[in-house]
Chain A
Amino acid sequence: MIRHAIAEGLLLLRQRGAVSVILAFVLAVPISLAGVGFSLYRWLSPMASLSGQTSTVAVLLHPRLDGDQRLRWIAEETDAHPEWRITEISSDDLTQRLQRWFPYLDELIADGDASLPPLIEIATTKPETVAVLEDRGEVLAVGPHSSFQQSLGRVAQRLAWAMTALSSILLTGALLLAAVWVHVELYRHGDEITIMRLVGATEGTIRGPFLVAVAVPGLAAGLLSVVATKMTTTGLSQLTSALGLAVVTTPEGVLVLQMVAGLLMPLGAAVFTLIRHAALGLDG
């Protein structure tokens, strides 16, 4: 039966050779793009994870606030914003930090009665929320509260989601394409299938050639998609390397999945259509 299925399947392929080749290419495109999409998703993932990292925002408090007032204020803000981790920087620590950037700080402080305003640091995963302090009387200034890393991470995350959605849409498109193709091909042979049933062919005998006829272009589509994905990711890697970024890689598992998808999508569609054809009882 297997030999018969292969022989008859190859005959069907020969009869529809050009269409099968075109469809293998057409099926390979969305599968390949889905593979590239997943590779890009993986490439963007480390950047996307930056969006969840903790950022520290510096806040200068009014110099007229004494120690008790500062502590009270910090306690109130901690209660109001539990997600903030507020740390008061001691004046020594602050002086030490500033001296890295401003070597004449000691002289400046020694010359006059200038004193450094109290500094606090707020560690949070949502630095933009610190902006609310800008309007408070106790606050002299709020440092940069837009993290570049976080912005980059958010963009990367959105791109990664877009890639996932695109890959899913492409795979669904490929499945629909395979289903329509197989459906049309089988209904083109509907009379033959009916005659085969009437002369005593089992469902296995009927399905075998059609499954072979769809498995071969499906396999070809899978192979083509793997080659296309590899070529695309290699091209993208050359580009990212030139920009000093990490290379884009496709895991072997994804390539295997592409092969499996290429093979199984038309096969699944064929089995479904043949079962439906049999269930309808189209016996001439």
Chain B
Amino acid sequence: MIQFGSRRCIESQRLLPRRILSIVRRPGLRLLAGRTSRSVIRLRAVSKEYDHRKILRSLDLHVDGGEFVFLTGPSGAGKTTLLRLLYAAEKPSSGEVWVAGRRVDELSRSRLPLLRRKIGVIFQDFKLLKRKTVLENITFVLRIHGVAPREALRRASQVLKRLGLQHRQSALPDALSGGEQQRVAIARALAYQPRLILADEPTGNLDADLASELLSLLCDINYQGATVVVATHDHALLESIPARTLVLHDGQIHFDGMWPP
């Protein structure tokens, strides 16, 4: 079911330790980087409460650069909250959240954009700009990342073509189906080649073929060195490739290991 890209993903997961693969690919960067830069995500005793209801309970987590991680668990387990903490849409009630070597929960508002430019987020509710076309949604993000207009257009067209959306590039988001909107959101997250990709239920609106194509794409990006964290409760997706899987239940990690074993 999984095509070429995902096979590379499996190879990279099984045959070569991720960190070694990253060092081989970007030796200068890796050798210069300190310990914190190796761990792209680090959570220390993180708790999150809403109205005295504990969503996350003293969570500890460590994700190395270049890892591919599935985050799963029943609805309300805290998957989305965990991701929101990582891209600093929320602050933890207690504990420390480190992303790309920076303590996110203590970042000033002016520093947040710099962090978020390193993260590509695929939102569950897409969060597309409704007044902009598909192409503009992507070029807009590339432009705020400092990409020149012509280059932004080229890269946006490229990523849309890859996601099979080139024929819909002039459409407004409201004119797209749920699956198409999902793919635009994915295209936007991938267009600026972030070091960390956080995907919240990315296959929720996709059929099986598109879901496997998306997974293939994420594996490909992971192969190129990016860290990928996918929150999902899609069992087919979890079974499709062996990857580090975190099972969240009642705000705590109940399982952390390779799945399928």
- Seen from chain A, the residues whose Cβ lies within 8 Å of a Cβ on chain B are 4, 15, 191-192, 194-203, 205, 278, 283-284
Contacts and interface: CB of A to CB of B under 8 A. Distances in A.
Interface stretch (B126-134, B213-221, B237-245): B126-134
Interface in B59-113: 87-90, 109-110, 112-113
A252 B188 CA distance: 52
Contact of A198 (B87, B114, B130, B145): B87
B57 interface: no
B181 to A, nearest CB: 13
A249 to B, nearest CB: 47
A198 B129 contact: no
A196 B123 CA distance: 13
A278 B109 contact: yes
A199 B89 contact: no
B117 A200 contact: yes
B141 interface: yes
B140 to A, nearest CB: 8
Nearest to B145: A200
Contacts of A203: 109-110, 113
A202 B109 contact: no
B31 interface: no
Contact of B188 (A199, A202, A283): A199
A198 B131 contact: no
21 contacts: A4-B143, A4-B144, A15-B131, A192-B129, A192-B131, A195-B128, A195-B129, A196-B129, A197-B112, A198-B89, A198-B127, A200-B141, A200-B144, A200-B145, A201-B144, A202-B110, A203-B110, A203-B113, A205-B144, A283-B89, A283-B90
A145 to B, nearest CB: 70
Q: Which 6 A-B pairs have the closest CB atoms?
A: A200-B117, A200-B116, A283-B89, A201-B144, A202-B113, A195-B127
Contacts of B117: 200
A120 B98 CA distance: 95
Interface of B: 87-90, 109-110, 112-117, 119, 121, 123, 127-131, 141, 143-145, 188
Nearest to A8: B140
A283 B83 CA distance: 13
Given A198-B127, A199-B188, 15 more contacts: A196-B144, A197-B116, A198-B121, A198-B123, A199-B116, A199-B121, A200-B114, A200-B116, A200-B119, A200-B141, A201-B113, A202-B144, A278-B109, A283-B89, A284-B89
Contacts of A198: 87, 89, 116, 121, 123, 127
Contacts of A196: 129, 144
Given A283-B89, A284-B89, A199 B144 contact: yes
Nearest to A194: B127
A259 B145 CA distance: 36
A202 B143 CA distance: 12
Nearest to A15: B131
Contacts of B109: 203, 278
A198 B131 CA distance: 17
Nearest to B146: A1
Nearest to A202: B113
Nearest to B120: A199
A58 B127 CA distance: 87
